[in-house]
Each structure stands twice: as structure tokens, then as C-alpha cells.
Chain A
Amino acid sequence: MRSNRTAWGLLAPTLLVLGFAGLLPFFYVVYVGFFDWNVFSKTGDLVWAGANNYRRLVFDTEFLAALKRGIVFTLWTVTLEMVLGMALAQLLMREFKGKSFFRAVHALPLTVAPIAVGATWRLMTIPGLGPLPYYLRRIGIDYNIGRYAGQAFATTVLMDVWHWTPFVTLTLLAGLTALPREPFEQAMVDGANRWQILRHLTLPMLRPVILTALFLRIMDALRIVDEVWMLTGGGPGTATRYVGIHVWRVVFPKTDYGYGSAMSVLLLYFTIVLCWLLLTAITQARRETD
């Protein structure tokens, strides 16, 4: 009894901080989502709207288009990052000349703030100034992410992959390093090839780490704002106006706090559901395999 009390006493400050920093703002956002509240409306009042903001969302083509763009962006970036990250982590498990240097250089993008990443890529891609348009034009490619939607989308994907693949690599590398050696040695003795070892040993044993990296990247990619904002401003047109940027424009410049809050809550719900579905699918597949 006493030890329970002591434990709760020791936990109390942490719970208090978590409550204020995590739960309170979350419940406030949920609360505001049930109101019409634009501080620059004629009255500026908070007006009860019930579920109206959520009803609006279902028919809001701009929001749905932004959400779709965000999902496509997430699919591309996370897939590329997971595949590349795994390949690089496997590579770094081996010994080769310059490995330490490569690992340090590879991790460098992680140290750069997202806003600086966006600014750097913007400088690299500005027509008439940046090296990318210059060199691509020399090989006959008209590269202008302010004008061509496909190029803008591809560049945002490339930038995100450049920035976050090292995170996946290092996470998976830590997981690989922690795996026991015996099953691998035994598999090699039994004559298993690399693909069989990867499929039947590495991936299953690394599953918790892979899932952690995967979910973190999905959540980050779905809510991306700053890097893309700096690089394309959401354009050309609305081609890279991903859902995070759309929510930001509704909440801040448009100051439509009620509707923006509803969007945020729905986005959070959507992310949780997506991760849960993925987890269920992976678990199901694993069970069927076993």
C-alpha cells in the first residue's frame, strides 16, 4: 500500500506535466471543434455548432483533396525510406573502408532543422539560381517546381527521403545490432541464402523495430508542413498543399479555429486508424505465415 503511494507520488509530477502539455491542449482542440469560432467574424463569438464542422469536412473538396495528396505523399516517402533505410542498415552491418565516415555523413540531414531543409532545397531548385535547374537544363530537362506539379511533388518526396531515411537506417541498425547471432549462424550452416535469411529471420525478428520506425514515419509524413511550405508553398497551384499545410492555412491566416480544430481531430483519428489497420494487417499476415 505504502509502496503504491510512493510510486504514485513519484509519478505525479510527470503525470501533471503530461496532463498540461498533452491532454489539456488535446481536449481543448476537441472542444473547439464543436464550435464555429472565427475571431475576425462580425461578432468573434464562439457559437455552438455541434457536429456541423465534421459534417462540413465530409463535403469539403479542398480538405479531401489535401488529405488524398497527403496520403499519396506518405505512401511514396515512407515506402522509399523503409526500403532504402533497410538496405543501408544491412550495408552498415558489414565492415568496409570508410564505414564510420559514411555513417556520419549519412546521419547529417537528421541534424538539420526541417525549416532549414526546406530553405536549402528551395535555394537548390530556384530557376535561374539553383544548381538543380541549371544542370538538368544542360541535359535537356526543363525543371521548374514553381510551374510543373509533377516535378514539385517528386521534389518534395525526394527532400523528405533525403531528410528522414537516415532516421530509419539508424533505427533499424540499432535493432539489427541487438539481434542474437546464433540463429543467423545456424541458418548459414544450414545453407540458407541471403534472401531466405532476410525473409525468415531478419524481418520477423526485427518486426517491432520496423513497426516503430514505420509508424513514426507515417505520422510525421502525414502531418508535414514546414519543409514543404518552405520549398513550394503548397504549389504550384495546390499540387503540394498536403493536409498539414491546408490545416495550417485554415487555422492561422484564415483564423477559422473551430473548423481547423475539427480538421486536426479528424486527421489525428485518421492517423491512428491507419496505423491500427497497418498493425492489424501485419499481425494477421504474420499469424498466417506462422
Chain B
Amino acid sequence: MLLIACAPPAAPAPAAPAEEKAPAEEMSWWAKAAEPYKGVTIKGISESTPPSKYMQQVLAPAFEKETGIKVEFEVTSWDQMYDKEIKDMESGTGIYDFVYIEQDIIYAYLARDFLVDLTNFMDEHPELVYADLDLDDFTSFIDYFKDDQGHIYGLPFEAFLKVYLYRKDLFGDPEVQAAFKEKYGWDLRPATNFDEYAQIAEFFTEWGQEKGLELWGTTVQAGSHPAAFYEMAETIWPSWGVYNWGINMETWKATTANGGSLDSDKAKAALGFWVGMLKYAPPEATSSTWDEVAATFAAGRAAQGWVYGENAAWIATDETRSKVVGNVGVALPPTAPGVMEEAEAGKGYIGYYDGGALGIPHSSKNKEAAWLFLQWVSRKDFQGDFAAAAARIVRKSTFDDPKVKELDPKVDGYFTLMKEKGYLFAGAPPFPFHAQIREVILPYVLKAISGEMTPEDALDAAAQDVDAELIQLGYGQ
């Protein structure tokens, strides 16, 4: 059972893109535009996620058939992807013609001038701009891929929220409800704050033990991996009111003494809460990254948890990989007092708006062919199938696609939540030193998880080290 659930996400069902429905003249534009590049091979790299696999297995072959441009689409682990693409762009070897740009790393890429300015590129090659590209139709998520002047460096292909998933079958079970009410004195429902979350986690862990079930109260993404840092920095801290990793972006300092908030009481309480949830999480939690957390929830081993939205659709609908089909509830994550109000007012955010785009490195030797592919995967008429297969939406018009509307109730309104409440979430802060500071904080988060340090000591030390590292990197002298 768990073997199936822990398997890497299988490729989405290869639903054919709607190319056969497209008008003949539209198809001929692709063939005509690609004529000078026919026979060329473009190579790209992306993370092994459902959206990337859909592009690799469905959209890329269709592109090859239509244009005669061969696509070698490498899909690999998150760490490998960064390692490979950064080395390629750094050394200018030109192995990759298009690369995955995660929203959080683009600021580092821009600082290093790794990427082709697509706005300029479109001006220089108007004959290669698809008439229905319609940049205005992209959701505001495309803004994360622009520089100060509004020039675009990547076309988004995936965007999703890290949401709160819960088991509707368990939450709706009258026996469970009665037992819960008796113990805690309030009606069981999805948690809206952290006290509620902790009580629900405790209840279901004990319930699982009493009933002899492989069931725990929560997921925790706490493997010895950067994923642990990301759950803290992008999901837990913001929902406690600690934004931008606790770094003051005016003073470039993390310590409260210097205007930051990484060692603030709120940040410490948040880390303490999250680490405390480990006792209600399944044993694999301390080995789990994002993929394993999704697999744990899909295997029915957790009653609630924070799960990346790209997994929501398959967990809720794919019976070959999920044991909780039809029982997945989707809601906003719990927040500390005042945080929701701050997010509503645009002064904060309650969680992570994650996603990525495809961009073209300067070192690419086939920029024109790569640009055609970028537009191909962004085609409006492909987006319904793409969203249905991989639960990602990057265009406004996709929300109204019949396939998305049909799927939405099956994923408990995830797409509606994304459309209506997406503004409460935010991407990563615009740090060119993203990976560098992550590597400073990560060991302390891991030490708090393992109990090597208390959350308080860990964050006191982390904040000091971040201040020192930022000076070393040339910020906040």
C-alpha cells in the first residue's frame, strides 16, 4: 500500500492536447515559424513534478510533431536540476536551451544575468511571437518573472498554493465528531488557528493508536533536506506573522536588535509549534520532503497537513495512487491572530504561492526554437488539459475552462480557492542570495527538529549567522 503511495508521482495521464481542435491556420503558424529550425534539437531541464512530466510526455512530443524541432526534456530531482542548470549557465556551456526558473530563485539568476530578456527578444523577433500569446491573460504570478523595468524573463507554466488538506471522511464521521467534542468541547472542523490544529493533530494520533490504524494527526515536511527549511520559511512563519524569512529588507538584518524578526518571539513560537507537531506526525515525517508528504497524505496516513497544491488533484482524484480519493478537503491554512487581517490588507501573507516558469539562458545556442517551445506550453487551448492533469494554473482564462470547472468540485474547490484567495499567498521574497541564506538557516532548523538545539537557541544563533552572512555577501554593511 505505502509502496504505491511512496512511489514518485507517475506521469499524468497523457491526455492529448487540444491541437486537433485548433484551427488549421493556427497549426500552420507553428510549422511556418519553426521552418528555419526544423531538425534542430533543443534541450531543457526541469524538476520532476506533475506539470514538468506533463510537458515532457504530452506537450513536447506534440511540439515535435507539429514543428519538426526535437525536444530533449530532462526531468530530474530538485537539487540536481539547480546544480545542473546553474553550472551550465555559470560556465556558459550551452547545454540547456530552456531551464526551469522557480519563482524563488529568479532574483539570483537576474543578478547574475543568466537569462534572456524575453521582452527584448519579442521586439527583436516579432515573426516568432504567436498571435494568441496574450501576456495579459497570465495571472499576476507572471509579475514574479519580471525585472524592475517590467521586462519578462520567463513564461510561467506552473503555479499553485500550499494549502491545508484534511480528511473529509474522518472529519465528517459522527463517531469521531462526538469523541472530539467530548474531549475538546468544540465541533470538529478544519483548523483556523494553531491551537485548533494542535488539538486535531493530537486527537487523530490518539484515535489511530486506539483503533489500531496507521493514522496520525498531521504531516510535517521535516526531512534532512532544504524542504524542511521551506516549510518553515514559506508556510509556517508567514502564517505566524513572520514574513520574508524574518529578514528586514531595509537594514538587511535578521536579528530583532537590528530590525529583523528571525529571533523574535513569534518566530520561535512558530518553530516550537512546528517541531512539536512531530509527535503527531507519522514516523516518515523526519525523512519527508514535499513529495513524501504528498505520498503520506495520499496513503491515508495523516488526518490533516500542509500539502503543495500541485499534488492536490492527483491525491483527490487518482485512485491508482491515492487511497483518499473523494475524501480530500481543501482549505486555507491556519493562521495566528491578526495574520489573516494583515494578508487581507496586503501587509502580509498566509502561505506560499509557489510555481515556476521556463526561461532561456544566454548560453543557449537555439534561442529561437526554445522560445517557440515556451510559447507552445503556454498555449491557451492546452491549459484546460494541463490544469486537469497537474493542478496548476497560470492563465486567468484557465479558471473558466470547462475541464477545470468539472474538476474543481472533485478537488473540493481547490481551483476556486486559488482564484479567489490566491492573493492571500505570496511567492518568496526577492532575495538574490536565496540559496546562500537558506543554507545558513537550514542547519538550525534541522537541529531544532532533531532536538540538538531548542527552537529558541536555534533561532538566536541562526539570526546572528544571517546578519554576518549578509555582510559577507555585501548587504547591510
Q: Among B67-75, B160-168, B332-340, B468-476, which stretch is in contact with chain A?
A: B468-476
Q: CB distance A36 to B472 under 8 Å?
A: yes
Hey, which chain B residues are within 8 Å of A40, CB to CB? 108, 111-112, 432-433, 435-436, 473
Is the C-beta of B83 less than 8 angstroms from some C-beta in chain A? Answer: yes
Q: CB distance B286 to A254 under 8 Å?
A: no
Q: Out of B3, B90, B214, B474, name the residue touching A43 (CB < 8 Å).
A: B474
* Min C-beta distance of A254 to chain B, whole Å: 4
* Min C-beta distance of A270 to chain B, whole Å: 22
Per the 8 Å Cβ criterion, residues 75-109 of B in contact with A are 79, 82-83, 90, 108
Hey, which chain A residues are within 8 Å of B286, CB to CB? 144, 146-147, 235-236
Docked CA distance A217–B225 (Å): 28
Q: CB distance B474 to A41 under 8 Å?
A: yes
Q: CB distance A237 to B450 under 8 Å?
A: yes
Q: CB distance B435 to A255 under 8 Å?
A: yes
Q: CB distance A42 to B475 under 8 Å?
A: yes
Docked CA distance A249–B440 (Å): 10
Q: Out of A36, A236, A254, name the residue touching B436 (CB < 8 Å).
A: A254
Is the C-beta of A107 less than 8 angstroms from some C-beta in chain B? Answer: no
**0/1 interface trace, chain A 253-279, chain B, CB 8 Å (1 if under):** 111100000000000000000000000
Is the C-beta of B446 less than 8 angstroms from some C-beta in chain A? Answer: yes
- When C-beta atoms are compared, the residue in chain A nearest to B285 turns out to be A146
- When C-beta atoms are compared, the residue in chain A nearest to B109 turns out to be A40
Is the C-beta of A87 less than 8 angstroms from some C-beta in chain B? Answer: no
Q: Out of B2, B90, B226, name the residue touching A253 (CB < 8 Å).
A: B226
* Min C-beta distance of B363 to chain A, whole Å: 15
Q: CB distance A128 to B447 under 8 Å?
A: no
Is the C-beta of A57 less than 8 angstroms from some C-beta in chain B? Answer: no
Is the C-beta of B224 less than 8 angstroms from some C-beta in chain A? Answer: yes
Hey, which chain A residues are within 8 Å of B395, CB to CB? none
Q: Out of B111, B224, B226, name the residue touching A146 (CB < 8 Å).
A: B224
Is the C-beta of B342 less than 8 angstroms from some C-beta in chain A? Answer: no
Q: Chain A CB within 10 Å — which of B214, B435, B473 has the most? A: B473
* Min C-beta distance of B216 to chain A, whole Å: 10
Q: List 9 A-B contacts (CB under 8 A).
A: A129-B3, A133-B283, A236-B446, A236-B449, A236-B450, A253-B226, A253-B438, A254-B439, A254-B440
Docked CA distance A239–B6 (Å): 25
Q: Which residues of B contact A (CB under 8 A)?
A: 2-3, 6, 79, 82-83, 90, 108, 111-112, 214, 222-226, 278, 282-287, 301, 432-433, 435-436, 438-440, 443, 446-447, 449-452, 472-475
Question: Dominant SS at the B interface?
Answer: helix
Q: CB distance A234 to B6 under 8 Å?
A: no
Q: CB distance B284 to A127 under 8 Å?
A: yes
Q: CB distance A235 to B450 under 8 Å?
A: yes
Is the C-beta of A180 less than 8 angstroms from some C-beta in chain B? Answer: no
Q: CB distance B473 to A237 under 8 Å?
A: no
Hey, which chain A residues are within 8 Å of B214, CB to CB? 128
* Min C-beta distance of A134 to chain B, whole Å: 11
Is the C-beta of A238 less than 8 angstroms from some C-beta in chain B? Answer: yes
Hey, which chain A residues are within 8 Å of B6, CB to CB? 126, 129
Q: CB distance A238 to B446 under 8 Å?
A: yes
Is the C-beta of A77 less than 8 angstroms from some C-beta in chain B? Answer: no
Q: CB distance B435 to A253 under 8 Å?
A: yes
Using A237-B449, A238-B452, A253-B226 as known contacts, say yes or no to A128 and B284 having CB atoms under 8 A apart. Answer: yes
Hey, which chain A residues are within 8 Å of B3, CB to CB? 129
Docked CA distance A234–B222 (Å): 13
* Min C-beta distance of B277 to chain A, whole Å: 14
Is the C-beta of A114 less than 8 angstroms from some C-beta in chain B? Answer: no
Is the C-beta of A39 less than 8 angstroms from some C-beta in chain B? Answer: yes
Hey, which chain A residues are within 8 Å of B452, CB to CB? 149, 237-239
Hey, which chain A residues are within 8 Å of B447, CB to CB? 237-238
Docked CA distance A119–B79 (Å): 15
Per the 8 Å Cβ criterion, residues 224-261 of A in contact with B are 232-239, 241, 249-250, 252-256
Hey, which chain B residues are within 8 Å of A256, CB to CB? 436
Per the 8 Å Cβ criterion, residues 15-47 of A in contact with B are 36, 38-44
* Min C-beta distance of B5 to chain A, whole Å: 9
Q: Chain B CB within 10 Å — which of A41, A145, A239 has the most? A: A41
Q: CB distance B284 to A146 under 8 Å?
A: yes
Q: Chain A CB within 10 Å — which of B214, B285, B446 has the most? A: B446
- When C-beta atoms are compared, the residue in chain B nearest to A61 turns out to be B461
Hey, which chain B residues are within 8 Å of A185, CB to CB? none
* Min C-beta distance of B89 to chain A, whole Å: 11
Using A249-B439, A254-B439 as known contacts, say yes or no to A232 and B224 having CB atoms under 8 A apart. Answer: yes
